[in-house]
């Protein structure tokens, strides 16, 4: 089966529709391939604004470059921040945004739906790693069995992102708490989470310059970001790195208290395997172009996501499947 997205105009509006055709060659399954009328591609113009997690900066850039080669008339503006900071731009500052790609699908489902968005498609996984530089203190001695002790040393500095603005910061806290339980170190998590708080930054990619300059020795960071930047990293056990959906019950034994959606509120977030999500906000100025880009992102873009160190999860279950635009339903599952 060949799945194509066709672009046409109705009453001056750009419309994206779905066409299903039978492939002539046996075994030719090209689910998600975008194959528009060639003339329509050059005719499309407009501006797309994309908010995205900092950990998606390099994949988004590569995907946008590929998209622009197909649609040179569409100008794309990208803005990276912690996923919660991106959501607050939409919720609180009423910033217009066509596509929002979050490092945590729950930021979309719990913060934006139903007032600021109606659906979320979960598209990729990741894992936490302990990232360092060749000049980091004890880099030649640290391993998966002793890293906890080295991070507590007074002459070692480590960094993490702010859990109130960035899912990576939440996951850093959860990883530390899981490590304390996994390695049976009673005081480890409380001691480490109080240490080096002056190195907390708004998003995880802000810490890379501190690492490379030698201001800090280690970062709790996504494995994909470490691979994209060519940084050495220590692989953590699956029981600690939040990568395995099969360990959800174990991950859920730890939690973190965070600032809530509204001033003065607090919320508790339990551990779970990390999953990224994407949506088109309700205030999108160019919803049809946003739909076209999202379809491209969830099809051809998944090759980029995988090449840059993440695990594609398309299609995955979406609780809002009935609310999805018709042309995007092929990228989600109606039931688990």
**Alpha-carbon span 265 to 274, nearest angstrom:** 24
**Alpha-carbon span 103 to 141, nearest angstrom:** 32
Mean pLDDT of 283-309: 97
Question: What kind of fold does domain 45-126+275-333 have according to CATH?
Answer: D-Maltodextrin-Binding Protein; domain 2 (3.40.190)
Same topology, domains 45-126+275-333 and 131-270? Answer is yes
Task: Output b/e per residue, 29-43; b: 16+ Cβ within 10 A.
Answer: eeebebebeeeebee
Question: What kind of fold does domain 131-270 have according to CATH?
Answer: D-Maltodextrin-Binding Protein; domain 2 (3.40.190)
- Give tens-digit pLDDT for 205-219: 889 999 999 999 999
Mean pLDDT of 107-114: 96
For the ranges 9-23, 83-97, 176-190, the lowest mean pLDDT is seen at 9-23
Q: Which residues contact 114 (CB under 8 A, 6 or more apart)?
A: none
Sketch the domain layout of the chain as residue ranges: 45-126+275-333, 131-270
Nearest to 204 by CA among 112, 71, 80, 20: 80
- Give tens-digit pLDDT for 221-265: 999 999 999 999 999 999 999 999 999 999 999 999 998 877 888
- Give tens-digit pLDDT for 16-60: 555 443 332 322 333 333 334 434 677 889 999 999 999 999 999
Res. 160: pLDDT tops 80:
yes
- Give tens-digit pLDDT for 188-197: 999 999 999 9
What's residue 20's pLDDT? Answer: 41
SS3 321: helix
């Amino acid at each position: 089966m060949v799945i194509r997205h066709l672009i046409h105009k109705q009453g001056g509006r750009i419309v994206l529709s779905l066409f299903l055709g039978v492939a002539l060659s046996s075994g030719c399954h090209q689910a998600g391939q975008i194959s528009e009328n060639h003339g329509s591609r050059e005719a499309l113009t407009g501006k797309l604004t994309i908010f995205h997690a900092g950990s998606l900066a390099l994949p988004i850039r590569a995907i946008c470059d590929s998209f622009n080669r197909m649609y040179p008339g569409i100008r794309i503006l990208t803005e990276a921040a912690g996923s919660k900071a991106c959501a607050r731009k939409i919720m609180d500052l009423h910033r217009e945004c066509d596509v929002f790609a979050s490092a945590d699908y729950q930021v979309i489902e719990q913060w934006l739906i139903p007032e600021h968005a109606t659906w979320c498609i979960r598209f990729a996984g990741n894992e936490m790693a302990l990232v360092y530089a060749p000049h980091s203190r004890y880099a030649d001695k640290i391993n998966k069995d002793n890293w906890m002790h080295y991070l507590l040393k007074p002459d070692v500095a480590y960094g993490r992102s702010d859990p109130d603005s960035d899912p990576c910061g939440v996951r850093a806290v959860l990883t530390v708490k899981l490590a304390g339980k996994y390695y049976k170190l009673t005081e480890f998590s409380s001691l480490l989470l109080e240490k080096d708080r002056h190195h907390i930054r708004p998003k995880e990619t802000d810490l890379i310059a501190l690492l490379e300059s030698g201001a800090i020795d280690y970062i709790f960071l996504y494995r994909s970001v470490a691979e994209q930047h060519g940084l050495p990293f220590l692989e953590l056990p699956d029981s600690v790195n939040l990568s395995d959906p099969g360990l959800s019950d174990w991950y859920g034994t730890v939690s973190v208290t965070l600032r809530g959606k509204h001033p003065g509120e607090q919320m508790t977030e339990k551990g779970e395997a990390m999953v990224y999500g994407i949506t088109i906000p309700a205030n999108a100025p160019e919803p049809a172009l946003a739909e076209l880009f999202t379809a491209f992102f969830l099809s051809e873009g998944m090759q980029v996501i995988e090449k840059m160190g993440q695990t594609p999860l398309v299609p995955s279950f979406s609780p809002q499947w009935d609310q999805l635009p018709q042309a995007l339903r092929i990228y989600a599952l109606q039931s688990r």
